[in-house]
Amino acid sequence: MIYNPIKVPDFPATRQRIEAQMARAGWAEPIWLGTTVDDPGASMCATAVEEAVDVVIVCGGDGTVMACVTALAGGETPLALLPAGTGNLLARNLGIPLDDEQAAIRIALTGADRHIDVAAVEHRKFAVMAGLGFDAAIMEGVNENIKAKVGWLAYVWSALKSLMFPAIRVEVSVDGAPFTRHRARTLVIGNVGFLQAGMPLIPDAAIDDGKLDVVLLYPRRFLSWVPLAVRVLTRNKRTDETITRMTGREVVVRTSVDAPRQLDGDLIPPGRELRATCVHGRLLVRVPR
């Protein structure tokens, strides 16, 4: 069991509940490995694999999950999720209960194993989405104190403050094709389709199809966000200069200025390029039967 102490404030009680449930199911006492600020999960995953555990259960937020995804990708030790963060986007897209600890543990112990895709960006892997521009500015603007009190609504407040993030010029190449030029307030490279609150940003995305889906959003004015949001929520597939969609195995994005960037909700340094490659079926996850 890999856990983020910050996300599990009442750790003794949580540990007692989980160990009791595992004992009732006939499992041995788990190995407990806490993450740190300097190591959000990589060495803990390495220890778990060395110990030949049957499953690595991760209890934490999206940052902890991404660290474990990076560490476990390419191996055959399944990753199970016990959501404890605010976004919990991978759990949401895999159908893991977000507010039912017992059900999530049952899936971790008795669920089915499924190979899913991951995407590689430099030395990191992500399983959900990478973002550049407004999308990353939302993460950058989240107040941790507010998030601790109101959960995912903190992202809504940050989004409202960032709605008029400046449009940037971007060039996009998919699968080695010539770069095409666009203007966008945000660009998202998705391995899955759903955001917080079930918003279907990329409704046709599949987590095991060997492809990444790209969405560029360019609302010209403040009020342009309203019809754009309606189109997203109603899964309208029409594309134009407001919404541009692309699909491929490898995506390269270049910008004219440094832009905020994020992977699975975790900020990485601003930059002028985002290069993502889909690695098909390289992560084994435990999902509901």
Tell me, what DSSP letter sits at residue 37? S
Confidence of residue 111 (pLDDT cuts 50, 70, 90): very high
User: 189 pLDDT exceeds 90?
Assistant: yes
CA distance 255 to 257: 6
Q: What is the mean pLDDT of residues 262-288?
A: 93
Give me the residue spans of the domains in the chain.
2-117, 126-279
On average, the pLDDT of the chain sits at: 90
What does the chain come to in residues? 289
Our measurement of the distance from residue 122's CA atom to the centroid of its chain's CA atoms, rounded to an integer in Å, reads 16
Q: What is the mean pLDDT of residues 92-112?
A: 94
Q: Per residue in 198-221, pLDDT tens?
A: 778 888 899 999 999 999 999 888
CATH number of 126-279: 2.60.200.40
CA distance 225 to 242: 10
Task: Give percent of the chain above pLDDT 70.
Answer: 91
Pairing of strands 129-133, 250-263: antiparallel
CA distance 133 to 188: 9
Q: Per residue in 155-183, pLDDT tens?
A: 666 676 677 778 899 999 999 999 999 99
- Which phi and psi angles does 130 have, rounded to 5°? -115, 145
Q: What distances in angstroms separate CA 154 from CA 98, 140, 157, 166, one per listed residue?
A: 17, 12, 5, 21
Confidence of residue 144 (pLDDT cuts 50, 70, 90): low
Tell me, what DSSP letter sits at residue 35? -
Instruction: Tell me the DSSP string of 57-72.
Output: EEEE-HHHHHHHHHHH
Least confident segment among 32-41, 67-76, 144-153, 189-198: 144-153
Q: What distances in angstroms separate CA 252 from CA 63, 214, 273, one per listed residue?
A: 23, 10, 7
User: 146 pLDDT exceeds 90?
Assistant: no
Query: In this structure, are residues 165 and 227 in contact, taking their beta carbons and an 8 Å threshold?
Result: no
Q: What is the mean pLDDT of residues 5-15?
A: 91
147 Cβ neighbours under 8 A, 6+ residues apart: 86, 154, 155
pTM: 0.87
Report pLDDT for 154. 67
Query: Which CATH architecture fits 2-117?
Result: 3-Layer(aba) Sandwich (3.40)
Report pLDDT for 151. 66
